[in-house]
Amino acid sequence: MLLVEDGRRSYDDIARRVSLSAPAVKRRIDRLRADGSIRGFSAVIDPEAFGWRTEALVELFYAPGTQLSVVAASLAKHPQVVEAWSVTGDADAIARVRTTDNADLERLIMDLQQDGQVIRTRSQVIMSALIARPGD
């Protein structure tokens, strides 16, 4: 969708590109928002400009029988956790985290381990972005 490329495009602009009228476009978008196809709109930020200088993917290994909901709750406490997924394979979950520096990253990982059921973590720190498509 064109709105993924630029979430502030005007209805008129979109309308011209798809050969419709502006109101028609608005109503379609309203519908997409209502039924959840479009979750919302967001500004995409440069993390460095906000002091987040290190980013990492942290694989999390939980104690047997740990509930997903408590995992999620534990992760939600830490604003450094940008995204986290429950995954198949070796690890139980993977968190994408953003910290000010390596020390902060270390502290976060310690926190997560103390927080409860984390047995082990394995981190892969991001050196550079190869691909970044917004809106995901």
Partner DNA sequence: ATTGAAATTGCGCGTTG
Partner DNA sequence: CAACGCGCAATTTCAAT
Which spans of this chain sit near its own copies (rule: CB under 8 A)?
1, 3-8, 32, 35-47, 49-50, 55, 57, 68, 71-72, 75-76, 81-91, 93-96, 98, 122-136
- Shortest distance (Å) from residue 8 CB to DNA: 8
27 binds, among its own copies, DNA, none (CB under 5 to 8 A by kind): DNA
- Shortest distance (Å) from residue 10 CB to DNA: 3
- Shortest distance (Å) from residue 91 CB to DNA: 43
Classify burial at 3, counting beta carbons within 10 Å of its beta carbon; exposed 0-12, middle 13-18, buried 19 or more: middle
Count how many Cα atoms sit within 13 Å of the Cα of residue 41 in the half-sphere of its side chain: 13
Number of residues that this document lists for the chain: 136
How many CB atoms sit inside 10 A of residue 99's CB?
21
